[in-house]
Each structure stands twice: as structure tokens, then as C-alpha cells.
Amino acid sequence: MMRLERTTLLACLSAFALAGCVGGAYKKPDVTRMDSETGEVRTYTEAKNFESGIVQAFPDIPIPASHKIDLERSVIFTSPSQTVGKIALNGSGDVDSLYRFFNMNMETNGWSKVNAFQSATSSLYYAKPGRFVAIIIESTGKAGSRVTINVGPE
């Protein structure tokens, strides 16, 4: 049963990712609202909602302050039994600093390191009961870097 659920989940995740890559996805327009109590004007966007959803879906995965979530490359799939997905990050900072950031903060958030490789493109792998995370850190030049965090079943 677990193998079937994992296979179905991975097939759905692949289909969802492929659908996002096809392009032409409809994006809702921004909505501006005024809070009647405070008078504060706020703009709500589909992007802000999706970014917030990623952070809420994976609260135990740290996001470095130097990086922003790349909403075009990120994807979440939620089923009744679990949430899996890919968090793509872009920002400044070198590969070594990001490696140290994840190395320290993942274990602080209860993840156990499975293994890691530190080089020009670094990889860190962590597990929790029922979950597995692969973090790939690569330089994009000019002090920039890209991080891809894949969260899946163990």
C-alpha cells in the first residue's frame, strides 16, 4: 500500500510540475484592499499567497534571508497523507555560506543529516520519519546563487 501511495504521489507531482512548465498559466490580478479599521492599504497577489503557502507547507525548512522563493520553479503537492514539493530559491551569497546555513539550521529544525557533498555545487540530504529532503546549492556567478530543495517521502 505504501509503495502504491508513493508511486501515485510521485506521478501526481511529476504531472503537476510538467503542467507548470508548459507555460501560459493564468495568474490572478493583484487586488488592493483597505483595512476598514486601520485604513491601511494592502495589495494581495497570487504570488504572495503562493509564497506564503510554501512557507506554511514546509515550516521546518529554513529559508535564508538572502534568498527569495522563485515562484515559477517552485511547486507544492498536498495529499491527505503528506505534502511534497520543490522550493526553488534565488539570491545573493556564496555556496559555502549557504552550505553552512543549511547544515546548522536543518538539524536545529529536527532533521537528521543523511550525507552531504561540498563543492562548487553542494548537496545536502536530510531525513525525518516519513520525509526526505535534498538540498542542491549552486553558484550563478556575480555573488549569486540558486538553491533547489526537494521534499518527498522517505
pLDDT per residue over 7-32, tens digit each?
Answer: 444 444 444 443 333 333 434 445 55
Residue 123 has pLDDT above 90, yes or no: yes
pLDDT at 2: 44
* C-alpha span between 89 and 68 (Å, rounded): 5
Q: What is the pTM of this model?
A: 0.69
* C-alpha span between 7 and 36 (Å, rounded): 48
Q: Please give the average per-residue pLDDT across 99-128, as a whole number.
A: 95
| CATH 3.30.310 for the 2-16+60-153 domain, yes or no | yes
* C-alpha span between 44 and 142 (Å, rounded): 32
The domain segmentation of the chain, as residue ranges, is 2-16+60-153
pLDDT at 29: 46
Residues 72-106 have pLDDT tens digits of 888 888 888 888 999 999 999 889 999 999 999 99
